[in-house]
Amino acid sequence: MQRKLRGEKKKIINKILKIIRENRTFFITSHMRPDGDSIGAQLALGSFLKRLGKEVYIANRDHVPAVYRFLSHSSDIHVVEKVERNFDVAFILDCSDLQRIGDIIDLKNRVKIVINMDHHLDCELFGDYNYVEPQASSVAEELYDLFKQSGLEMIEEEVLALYVGILTDTGRFQEANTTPRCHEIVAELIKKGISPQVVSQKVYESRTGPALRLLSLTLRTLEVTAGGKIAHLLITQDMYKETGGREDETEGFVNFARDVAGVEAGILFRETEIGDQFRVSFRSKGKIDVSKIARLFGGGGHRNAAGCTVKGNVGEVKQKILNAVSREVANTGTTEGRDSQC
Ligand SMILES: [Mn+2]
């Protein structure tokens, strides 16, 4: 499958470039709770299309996380429940299935051609055209190849957006999807003017005082269970109020749960503003598949990073989730490196 996709890559990119040439209006979206790859890829693709004279509308269900707002045109990404417009083409980026876009558009009736660009191993081929490359570190990496093949020289903001996508989806070049190929691409991006130091400061060293106070309260809730294999953290609405930290500043908090030595699955529970409902984020090491758990509760993701929303009070939600995670941990042996594709 992977070899076949690799062999067909030139073809699918050429097909996409042809569709771009032959159409005028483009919709771009990505998954709920967007990350650095989904935002970076949407912005780079949006810029590319606009430079070709196309009409582009980018919209997501959730806001751009604060750390990515330094990217040019990030404020042009619309945040809407439903897009009530028609387009020639829709690009769905970084989604392993269509549920991930949160029903933001009626694709059947509003769009002529759906293009799925993704890099998840289990991606459903829901597009009319699917540029799905599981060995790519990120959609940003796939877009890099599209840019290359188009012959259009990248401009500065596109280079930066792609770099941020690769940087964040590989967990700063630490996860198992960090390949020689993605380092080669990053070398090219650095040659085009990226300063890794400056970007790192923007993405990882820009926490606000309130956000750090929120992190400190969050870390105090750390509990380790299941014989040291599961760690979890909790953020309540009271904690946001007490610190002034916002939910969109909690990016990366869940990693602290996974960072505990010996822990195989880390969980972050975040109480939502409507009460008796929690957003649950999972991170795992090795072969523990947290996307399976998230799917049980109507969420999604992939093997080592996933999320869902669960109704109930804090005790009920914790119990349900911890039971499910404990079962998964017990059924899966500890293994070598993690394979994170965000
Ligand atoms: Mn991704």
Q: How close is the Cα of 37 to the center of ligand 1, in Å?
A: 5
Q: Name the percent of the chain lying above pLDDT 90.
A: 82
Q: How close is the Cα of 213 to the center of ligand 1, in Å?
A: 29
pLDDT of 27-43, one tens digit each? 999 999 899 999 999 99
Picking from 203, 221, 256, the residue at the C-terminal end of a domain is 203
Is residue 339 situated within a structural domain? no
The answer on 188 and 128 residing in a single domain is yes
Taking CA atoms, 161 is separated from 21, 138, 176, 227, 279, in Å, by 23, 12, 22, 41, 27
pTM for the structure as a whole: 0.86
Radius of gyration of the chain (CA): 20
pLDDT of residue 300: 80
Q: How close is the Cα of 307 to the center of ligand 1, in Å?
A: 14
Give the separation between CA 173 and CA 190, rounded to whole angstroms.
14
Is residue 170 situated within a structural domain? yes
Q: How close is the Cα of 250 to the center of ligand 1, in Å?
A: 19
| H helix or E strand, kind and range, residue 140 | helix 139-150
Which structural domain range is residue 265 located in? 209-331
Overall domain count for the chain: 2
Picking from 145, 180, 203, the residue at the C-terminal end of a domain is 203
The answer on 158 and 83 residing in a single domain is yes
Pairing mode of beta strands 129-132, 265-271: unpaired
Query: Which of the residue ranges 187-196, 205-214, 218-227, 296-305 would you say has the lowest mean pLDDT?
Result: 296-305
Four-CA torsion 334, 338, 297, 77, nearest 10 degrees: 170
pLDDT of 142-189, one tens digit each? 999 999 999 999 999 999 999 999 999 998 998 878 999 999 999 999
| H helix or E strand, kind and range, residue 309 | strand 305-311
Is residue 144 situated within a structural domain? yes
Picking from 187, 203, 219, the residue at the C-terminal end of a domain is 203
Label residue 333 by pLDDT band (50, 70, 90). Answer: low
